[in-house]
Amino acid sequence: MWRRRPAPRESEREPVSPAPPVTALTIDAMGRKCPIPIIMLADQIGSVGLGATVAVLADDPAAFTDIPAWCRLKSHEHVASYELPQGGWSIHVRRNY
């Protein structure tokens, strides 16, 4: 006899990826090659408040690794990188100083 499978408990459910954080500024660097996305980020990160998050939209594969490296070099926080449905990434950076 067939039985209906019970709904999974809260602890058994698949983890859901967190939603991207709210950003104070979005920099559109789609179609631009590195180091242009980093230069755009460096120029504009001072325009947001301390602790604010900046999203850099980029489709250059070098930006995916270079922006987090820039964050470590400049003591800002790389929050996360999210894949965009149209290709590329939304790379989130938190201003620390």
Give me the active site residues, please. 34
Residues 6+ apart with CB under 8 A from 28: 57
Report angle CA 30, 67, 96 to the nearest 5 degrees: 120
- In angstroms, the CA 15 to CA 45 distance is 32
